[in-house]
Amino acid sequence: MKINHIVETQQFTQPLLMELFDRANLMKKIVARGGTKDYENKIMTSLFYQQSTRTRFSFESAMYRLGGKVITTEQAAFFSSEITGEHLEDTIQIIANYCDVIVLRHLEAGGAKRAASVSPVPIINAGDGAGGQHPTQGLLDLYTIFSELHTLNGLNVAFVGSLDNGRTARSLAYLLSKFSRIKLYFVAPKEMQIKPDILEHLDENNIIYTLSDSLEGIIDQIDVLYQTRFEVERFPNVNFDYSKLKTDTSVLQKMKYDSIIMHPMPRDIEISHSVDSDKRAAYFRQAKNGLYVRMALLSMLFDGN
Amino acid sequence: MKINHIVETQQFTQPLLMELFDRANLMKKIVARGGTKDYENKIMTSLFYQQSTRTRFSFESAMYRLGGKVITTEQAAFFSSEITGEHLEDTIQIIANYCDVIVLRHLEAGGAKRAASVSPVPIINAGDGAGGQHPTQGLLDLYTIFSELHTLNGLNVAFVGSLDNGRTARSLAYLLSKFSRIKLYFVAPKEMQIKPDILEHLDENNIIYTLSDSLEGIIDQIDVLYQTRFEVERFPNVNFDYSKLKTDTSVLQKMKYDSIIMHPMPRDIEISHSVDSDKRAAYFRQAKNGLYVRMALLSMLFDGN
Amino acid sequence: MKINHIVETQQFTQPLLMELFDRANLMKKIVARGGTKDYENKIMTSLFYQQSTRTRFSFESAMYRLGGKVITTEQAAFFSSEITGEHLEDTIQIIANYCDVIVLRHLEAGGAKRAASVSPVPIINAGDGAGGQHPTQGLLDLYTIFSELHTLNGLNVAFVGSLDNGRTARSLAYLLSKFSRIKLYFVAPKEMQIKPDILEHLDENNIIYTLSDSLEGIIDQIDVLYQTRFEVERFPNVNFDYSKLKTDTSVLQKMKYDSIIMHPMPRDIEISHSVDSDKRAAYFRQAKNGLYVRMALLSMLFDGN
């Protein structure tokens, strides 16, 4: 299937997701044997208007494991010494002369779409604003579930944390709605609950879900515990006992033997470090999957273009 | 012809320019077929005392298309954690141990010359101060004219914008003076007009030129419209209708069919985005030519050293 | 000999130092013939919580000469856009998924040890705090002496400058104590003198040393003059004639024909630039040795792991 840019999660149909995951599995094998040189003539630009070293490193490692090269800035807002805040479309049309793909982290929702509309080389959206998208994160999260549990059907998935503007939880919920017999649990103080647009989408797709502010009565049934930050700083007036939503060893004891715990990182206080050594703690493997999925996406763009 | 460093435009005689452009044409073909590995053992350092991501990316892409490697900083002023503002000559003599060529962006005019005087590896001046040089920009501008119009003789070239300290316009005017039957038009509010030193140089070389503050009566005769920024911020007391100097679709209608519009970028308001789709809009191709010219320069330095 | 991480100078026994220096000699030959591709599948991460461009460039050049690739940040403290100051152990466990070795510059003493305790890939300490270690600097200093004077036994070595928290002088004194018939001279105003812990270590190893605040009576006997900065800013109340401790051409005249002058760089006023052209000025060669030693260390880690 041919894709020209990776701008939003909605581009990914179920067949395209399966093609992507097949390719990610292949990339896992390629990394294990030391990478490939198949894309050694390709140059990737990391064009970051905001620091996000974790995401940048993941993409750059992916490009290197594919044999390619990388040009990078985390200060794209200060792109030139003459004008601060140059027109994004101009910047893209200049940079496109120097590379074969642009990984863009922008500050405004819709930035990636604007870039894609003028770019002669593929754009990959690496996050565009708080209200925007970060599709590769959603894809690597879905791949992690697939890779750990060997299916995407019939799963019970709980999302915990500040879900209202949690880009990662929103994207993953959206992607899971493409599969069957899915049950979702949104667990957050009511002020931080998932927004109605996602629930409407789930209703349209006949996905069962519940809203609550506690893991009580849920924790022993879930296959995936997707923990995110509480972002307490955004809710100074909310009086909530966040310890109820933390994952620690006592929570582990109630979880199914073959369940997994995920986190998009960085972690604050929401998962105890004592959980790390449990085999169900999948968040560091999740980071590794980001490498495979990004290699798969880059190679799909290169092969199709 | 052997060159050791690229410090100033004056180094480039007409034969050397022609050799450079032949090589740039070759590089264009090399890029089209995916680059070369001929310089895979070479390391380039981007040593930037000032951010200039566009210039840096152009050089780094050039180095990668040649097969080489890149070490980079845009914060060379904070070179060490111990001393702020280390002696440039010391920095160069240290860095030279780690690479095969240094691309230097310095803050002081003459910085590149100082660096070249002590460096055991080639120095390329990527801009040294407002009053200094930025020779590779002038070279890529000249190459763009050559590449688009297939000659450098008999051309009418108009420079528009704040020309007084416009490094790019000054360099290109200087380079054009090496060719025959050139006519130059300097178009700017009188406070921003080109400085006498350039005019004296043109007089010495019998180059015809005019000064004006309007494109009226000129626009239908020119082959190259070289538009630069107005830098209004430097002239708060100048009361001028800058719209007279803007390039928009109405200006396009008056221009010759086979003329071109150039801009060193970044663009502010001086060229309408509606002009971009016209084939005479050469500024994005100009950026691409920066790649070929810098590949040519790097390869000349490597082959000669 | 197998090493998993390079955290502190104390790891290096005399046999391991000799193995390292053999390997560094080999790397010198490899660089002379243009580098190797033996490690082309390896990725190094430069994870710097503090700018130290000189050290970073030295490591990155080493990695490129070995054929490998580099991912880099000098602003690791702002690692994510969400949390400032993420848990070091988490950062390491994420980054380790993207590379084969992590070069860490941390702000706190002990940072490298903490990183090594959780990292599945080798950690190299590139400096961890003022009171911490910077082992590769000590190793390249020792290698420089070995490389210049062809022995590490029977040497008279003078350390000059602010020695009290001089990480480089302290490390080198420690390493020299492993060799025989060494005599050390610590030359500094008494407020800046070397700390008792080093002197105790020298006593335990039967190393002869003297303390003084002048080069008088010493300068014609020493084989190595290791000059460091005076750090006058840390001692506003010390009234001392620092010119007595400067190395200039008059000092050169008193030095042995086959002695060497070293400096970890950056240099301030303590060595006159007029000294640079003397063959005994070894400080730029010392920087080059940093390349060979770091290539040797990286290759030892890759080969052993």
ipTM of the complex: 0.95
Among C76, C93, C98, whose Cβ lies nearest the Cβ of A61? C98
pLDDT of residue A298: 98
Residues in chain A with CB shorter than 8 Å from the CB of C73 are 53, 57, 74
Residues in chain B with CB shorter than 8 Å from the CB of C74 are 73, 75
Looking at domain C9-134+287-304, does it have CATH number 3.40.50.1370?
Answer: yes
Among A53, A60, A265, whose Cβ lies nearest the Cβ of C76? A53
Dump the DSSP string for C21-57.
HHHHHHHHHHHHTT---TTTT-EEEEEESS--HHHHH
With an 8 Å Cβ cutoff, is C71 touching chain A? yes
Residues in chain C with CB shorter than 8 Å from the CB of A58 are 98
Among A74, A266, A291, whose Cβ lies nearest the Cβ of C82? A266
Is residue C56's pLDDT more than 60? yes
Contact between C41 and A34 using a beta-carbon 8 Å cutoff: yes
Is residue B84's pLDDT more than 80? no
Is residue C11's pLDDT more than 90? yes
Per-residue pLDDT band at B83 (split at 50, 70, 90): low
With an 8 Å Cβ cutoff, is A75 touching chain C? no
Contact between B51 and A97 using a beta-carbon 8 Å cutoff: no
pTM over 0.90? The answer is yes
Per-residue pLDDT band at B211 (split at 50, 70, 90): very high
* Per-residue tokens: B167: 């490094």
* Distance between B212 CA and the closest CA of chain A, angstroms: 25
Per-residue pLDDT band at C55 (split at 50, 70, 90): very high
Distance, CA of C162 to CA of C170 (rounded, Å): 11
Q: Where in chain C is CATH 3.40.50.1370?
A: 9-134+287-304, 135-282
Among C45, C90, C99, whose Cβ lies nearest the Cβ of A266? C90
Nearest chain B residue to A39 by CA distance is B34
Is residue B32's pLDDT more than 80? yes
pLDDT of residue A262: 98
Helix axes A135-149 and A14-32, enclosed angle (nearest 10): 70
Residues in chain A with CB shorter than 8 Å from the CB of B60 are 71, 98
* Distance between B104 CA and the closest CA of chain C, angstroms: 15
Per-residue pLDDT band at C75 (split at 50, 70, 90): confident
Contact between B94 and C54 using a beta-carbon 8 Å cutoff: yes
Phi-psi label, residue B252: left if phi above 0, alpha if psi -120 to 50, beta otherwise: alpha
3-state secondary structure of A54: helix
The residue to which tokens 């993207």 are assigned? C98
Query: Which residues between 84 and 103 in chain C have a beta carbon less than 8 angstroms from any beta carbon of chain A?
Result: 86-87, 89-91, 93-95, 97-99
With an 8 Å Cβ cutoff, is B162 touching chain A? no
Dump the DSSP string for B132-159.
S--HHHHHHHHHHHHHHHS-SSS-EEEE
Q: Which of A49-53, B180-184, C44-48 has the lowest mean pLDDT?
A: A49-53
* Distance between A204 CA and the closest CA of chain C, angstroms: 33
Torsion sign, CA atoms A146, A149, A151, A152: negative
CB environment A254-274: b (16+ within 10 A), e (fewer): ebeeebbbbbbbbbbebbeee
With an 8 Å Cβ cutoff, is C52 touching chain B? yes
* Distance between B8 CA and the closest CA of chain C, angstroms: 26
With an 8 Å Cβ cutoff, is B235 touching chain A? no
* Torsion of the alpha carbons at C113, C119, C120 and C125, rounded to the nearest 10: -50
pLDDT under 50 in chain A at which residues?
none
Specify the long-range contacts of residues C194-197, CB closer than 8 Å, at least 24 apart: C194/C159, C194/C163, C194/C164, C194/C166, C194/C169, C194/C170, C195/C164, C195/C165, C195/C170
pLDDT of residue C84: 59
Residues in chain B with CB shorter than 8 Å from the CB of C52 are 80-81
Portion of chain C with pLDDT greater than 90, in percent:
85
Mutate to test the interface with B, among C54, C128, C231 (most CBs of B within 10 A): C54
* Distance between C94 CA and the closest CA of chain A, angstroms: 6
Nearest chain B residue to C36 by CA distance is B41
Is residue C246's pLDDT more than 70? yes
Q: How far is CA B146 from CA B73, B134, B175, in A?
A: 33, 19, 12
Is residue C233's pLDDT more than 90? no
3-state secondary structure of C245: helix
With an 8 Å Cβ cutoff, is B274 touching chain A? no
Per-residue pLDDT band at B231 (split at 50, 70, 90): confident
Is residue B124's pLDDT more than 70? yes
Per-residue pLDDT band at B85 (split at 50, 70, 90): low
Q: What is the CATH number of domain B135-282?
A: 3.40.50.1370
Contact between C76 and A57 using a beta-carbon 8 Å cutoff: no
Is residue B75's pLDDT more than 90? no
Q: Which residue has the higher pLDDT, A233 or B65?
A: B65
Among B71, B82, B93, whose Cβ lies nearest the Cβ of C57? B71
Q: Which residue has the higher pLDDT, B150 or B77?
A: B150
Is residue B305's pLDDT more than 60? no
Q: Which is nearest to C126 in space by CA: C109, C144, C140, C112?
A: C112
Q: How far is CA A80 from CA A205, B284, B287, C83, in A?
A: 47, 16, 14, 28
Q: Which is nearest to B198 in space by CA: B225, B167, B223?
A: B167
Contact between A267 and C99 using a beta-carbon 8 Å cutoff: no
Mutate to test the interface with A, among C38, C41, C43 (most CBs of A within 10 A): C41
Distance, CA of A167 to CA of C96 (rounded, Å): 25
